[in-house]
Amino acid sequence: MPDPLLLERQGAVAIIAINDAPYNRMSLEFIDQLDLLVGEIATDNSIRAVVLTGQGQENFSVGMNLKQFATGLARMGGPDALFDQRLRVINAIETMGKPWIATLFGYCLGGGLEVPLGCHFRLAATEGAQIGLPEMDLGTVPAWGGSARLSKCVGPNHALDMILRGKKITGPEALRIGLVHEVWPLEELKDRAIALAHELAAQPAMAVRGVMEVVVKSQDRSLEELLQAERRAVRATMASPDSEEGMRAFMEKRKPVFNQQ
């Protein structure tokens, strides 16, 4: 049986691919392995940005392998534990303090959208993408945080339109409503995501964590709490090696080289 996911390293960038082409279903084995890998990445200071993609060119992911649903219930002891694991993994991605970039192409359905909603950047293909939460067609609702995160991302009007009507939208439409950050031709999409990851990985890691601590949690905290978090980030980065390098580079009129300490 092939590995459910593939991991590639390019310097400070980790590239994770769902390894079940052409549909790239999020199997029980995939979630288990992703759960472990997310914990390892969180504590590995040499990894500063992550790309999440799917093998092949057909689909990012059609979501959960529904044929395994009964097995998952039996293994986990019920639906709450099954879904809690997925929510825990997505939350760990979202709050890690390292940027994650998801590539959306072909089918991006159910969990195939809910996991990217926990990522910090989403890039979509200009053609062929079908992005949505079609759980209504199964007589149920999104179970991996999709309703909440989609609403926070695009607002309640677009979220209700997509979820209650089971709509699948294109990459350009996803860009229009703010669901994705950029669209690219399919043949360029993964390379563009990796290039963005390298750009983000080159930023000062301590400062990135500080900004993400404020921005990722901005909708769940009061302004005063956010200002306090921002001040903590300022204090942590002041007089850091990266801050000193940034000041030197500015004075010397050159591009700074961060994360060298």
Q: Quote the mean pLDDT of the chain.
A: 92
- What mean pLDDT is predicted for residues 22-40? 97
Whole-number pLDDT of residue 251: 76
Whole-number pLDDT of residue 17: 98
CA distance 247 to 253: 10
- What mean pLDDT is predicted for residues 66-89? 89
Is 40 assigned a catalytic role? Answer: no
Q: How confident is the model at residue 92 (pLDDT cuts 50, 70, 90)?
A: very high
Is 245 assigned a catalytic role? Answer: no
Q: Which of 29, 94, 114, 127 is catalytic?
A: 114
- What mean pLDDT is predicted for residues 251-261? 81
Whole-number pLDDT of residue 66: 85
Per-residue pLDDT of 165-186, as tens digits, reads 999 999 999 999 999 999 999 9
- What mean pLDDT is predicted for residues 17-43? 97
Q: How confident is the model at residue 232 (pLDDT cuts 50, 70, 90)?
A: confident
Per-residue pLDDT of 118-157, as tens digits, reads 999 999 999 999 999 999 888 889 989 999 999 999 999 9
Per-residue pLDDT of 56-76, as tens digits, reads 999 999 999 889 888 988 988
Q: Which of 135, 188, 245, 252 is catalytic?
A: 135
The SS3 of residue 144 is coil
Whether pLDDT at 7 is above 70: yes
Strand-pair category, 49-54 with 107-109: unpaired
Whole-number pLDDT of residue 261: 64
CA distance 28 to 50: 21
Q: What is the CA radius of gyration of the chain?
A: 19
CA distance 118 to 259: 25
Flag the least confident range among 21-25, 39-43, 255-259. 255-259
Whether pLDDT at 226 is above 70: no
Output phi, psi for 128, to 5 deg. Answer: 85, -15
pTM of the model: 0.90
How many C-alpha atoms does 168 have within 13 Å on its Cβ side? Answer: 16
Q: 111 with 86: CB under 8 angstroms?
A: yes
Whole-number pLDDT of residue 253: 81
CA distance 48 to 45: 7
Neighbours of 106 (CB within 10 A): 23
